[in-house]
Structure 1
Amino acid sequence: MKTSSSVTNEEKQTRIQPPATTRMDDKAKGAILMLIAVSLFACLDSTAKLGSQAVPAIQTVWFRFTVHFILVAIVMNPWRRPDAWRTSAPRLQAARAAIQIVCTGLNFLALSYLQIAQTLSIQFMGPIFVTILSVIFLGEVVGRYRWTAIFISFVGVLIITRPGVGTLEPAFGLIILSVLIGAGYSILTRRLSATESSGSMLLIMAAFPAVILTPLMPFVWVWPKSFAEWLPLIGTGVFGAISHYFYIEAHRHAQSSFLAPLQYFQFLAVLILGFVVFGDIPTIWTLVGSLVLIGSGLFIWYRERTIARAERAREAATHAGSA
């Protein structure tokens, strides 16, 4: 019979380092998980904007992480999932959580002044920084086609934002800063997903901010006046926990540089929610730019599928020859 320690070791062995080249089956799973994650991120942004209209932004951030922690702690309690409460990289986990506090705070504050589509259009610069950092820190190989698609995506961002046209909102600076800092979050997620459990990553990323922010709450607290104000605040934590679970799982199956452009599909969800919830009507520039963004993501998907089919054909020919 296996002892509890041996079971733990075996479970830990299942979380091995990802191979240098990811199989297409894994990439397909990673892409699907990423699309689910970014759709839920749009829901998170919508509830955050609603919540920040009723209480201070820092209180909304506290709700987002505290509810997240409580939810994950109930699902992955230490009696059922003791491995979820362990980590072999506490410093990296803490750094990832700290980055998340800063990025979430900046994003929620900006959402108090801007439309969701505006903040997200700036966030679309993120994949560019993620790709660059994935090459520097993770040693991932990015081909010219993917670089071209990312550059085209950036052109789509410029079409949407049209820098220099009209008055530049100071809140745009908050989003740009959030994007610069947030690129490190994606890189740390990819690195930690190779050795850490999803439970530990979900728990620590929420527990750390909740503990840090709780002492500040008596000084800024504003009681929500109705159920309609409580609901989006609680929703930030629910959508935050579920979306990041899918985000972490996506990074187990595919490289950061492959997944990063798929975040552009979040824009479709944002357009729908922005219209339904806030009555935001996208401009023609927003629609044209989003089409460019989505087209670049589809190109990367098509390119990866083509390469994978060619690799499988070569493998099949090799096996047939050796047989």
Structure 2
Amino acid sequence: MFTPRDQNPALAALLTLCAAAFAAGTTLLAKALGTGALGPEMHALQISNGRFLFAFLAIGAVTAVMRPRFARPDLKLHAARSALGWGGVTLMFAAAAFIPLSDATAISFLNPVFAMMLAIPLLGETVGRVRWSAAAIAILGGIILTRPGGGVVELGAMLALCAAVLMGSEMILIKRLSGREGPFQILLVNNAIGLLISACAAVFVWQWPEPRQWAALAAIGVLMAAAQACFVNAMARADASFVAPFFYAALVFAAIYDALVFGVIPDVVSLIGATIILCGAGLLAWREARLKKSPPPVRPSQPG
């Protein structure tokens, strides 16, 4: 039986900031591999396979040492979640080769918006005017970042948008898993299934990596495992509406990494688009928090 963790908002915030820094680091390394900075250009399918391989090895090693108690997993739910996560990660890695990391990261913040939209038909949730307004604001920022008519930049933004849709869908399934299974079990099963899916896809584009590329792939896997562990544990210690805004720091980390390594400085369009997305996503997170704190409506008593 899985026992929920004690609530600790301060620790949850710190863990989420660490997850943001680690996640931005994986995108930076994926960009280096996809653009040929570390050797021959590597396909996004192979990069995502390396991400799942080394993340699984890292999580498996920690699991073997800590020996957490496992419950019976919902394999169908895990498989669907892992497939969506693999697709989202692969498209994000592909997008990073075309557009600045800050743009790709900002567009990825649309995934809560898509999750909200998908929750209507899939979870039967009701969405009010404030949340629809927040979604419209965030999507406007995403449209700005696509830079219509921008050639390859537009392609990269569209890849990131598709990644956000898949990751938003994944969030719906994560909601169903949270509270049912422990963090280690969720991470281990997710990465095991993701490894299987990504390996089948990578067969068609496989090329033997150079030593530097192996090191980068290993770093992507370890950083992603660390990011997942931090985020899952943060979600276990505070409400999602509290945790989510702290992950927006990934945008800052991505911009810093891109500037230091590739010399890419966000332009005016990037700043405007990212700001609008953050405003919309922030409004959505605030509204979610308010809805959770609101007491349920009092129903009139039924006649006896």
What TM-score do the two structures reach when normalised by structure 1?
Answer: 0.74
Distance 1:304 1:291, change over 3 A: same
CA deviation string 1:248-275 (max 9, x = no partner): 2333355556655554432211111111
CA contact (8 A) 1:101 1:209 kept: yes
Which residue number corresponds to residue 23 of structure 2?
Answer: 41
Task: Tell me, yes or no, if the aligned pair for 1:140 and 1:255 is still in contact at 8 Å.
Answer: no
Residues 187/304 of structure 1: CA separation in 2 closer, same or farther (3 Å cut)? closer
1:233 aligns with 2:217: yes
Match of 1:90 in 2: 75
The reply on whether 1:245 has 2:245 as its aligned counterpart is no
TM-score, normalised to structure 2, is 0.78
Q: Name the counterpart of 1:282.
A: 266
User: In structure 1, what is the equivalent of residue 301 of structure 2?
Assistant: none
The question of whether the paired residues in 2 share the 8 Å contact of 1:189 and 1:251 is answered with no
Unaligned 5+ segments in structure 1 are 1-8, 17-22, 312-323
Instruction: State the one-letter code of the partner of 1:288.
Output: I
The one-letter amino acid of 2:23's match is F
Output the CA distance in 2 between the equivalents of 1:136 and 1:225. 46
**Is the alpha carbon distance of 1:148 and 1:205 closer, same or farther for their aligned partners in structure 2, counting shifts above 3 Å?**
same
Q: For the residues of structure 2 that align with 1:102 and 1:302, how far apart are their CA atoms?
A: 29
1:213-272 deviation digits (Å, cap 9, x = unpaired): 446666643333343x33221111011101112222333355556655554432211111
Relative distance call for 1:282 and 1:80 in structure 2 (3 A) is closer
CA contact (8 A) 2:92 2:163 kept: yes
Q: Which one of 181, 200, 212 corresponds to residue 166 of structure 2?
A: 181
SS in 2 for 1:88: coil
The CA deviation at 1:59 is 1.9
2:145 matched to 1:160? Answer: yes
Paired AA for residue 99 in structure 1: L
What RMSD, in angstroms, separates the aligned Cα atoms of the two structures? 3.5
Aligned positions of 1:105-144 closer than 5 A: 105-138=90-123, 144=129
CA contact (8 A) 1:38 1:263 kept: yes
1:28-87: per-residue Cα shift (whole Å, max 9, x none)? 66555434323321111111112233433222111100100010011011x742524x43
CA–CA separation in structure 1 for the residues paired with 2:8 and 2:281: 18
- Structure 2: how far apart are the matches of 1:105 and 1:62? 9
Offset of residue 141 of structure 1 = 6.7
Instruction: Compute the displacement of 1:145 (Å).
Output: 4.5
In structure 2, the residue matched to 1:320 is none
Q: Where in structure 2 are there 5+ consecutive unaligned residues?
A: 296-304
The answer to whether structure 1 residue 81 and structure 2 residue 63 are counterparts is no
Q: In percent, how many aligned pairs have the same letter? A: 29
**Aligned equivalents of 1:266 and 1:57: distance in 2?**
21
Q: 2:84 aligns with which of 99, 114, 130?
A: 99
> What SS is found at the alignment partner of 1:76?
helix
In structure 2, distance between residues paired with 1:32 and 1:258: 12
Is residue 208 from structure 1 mapped to residue 190 from structure 2 by the alignment? no
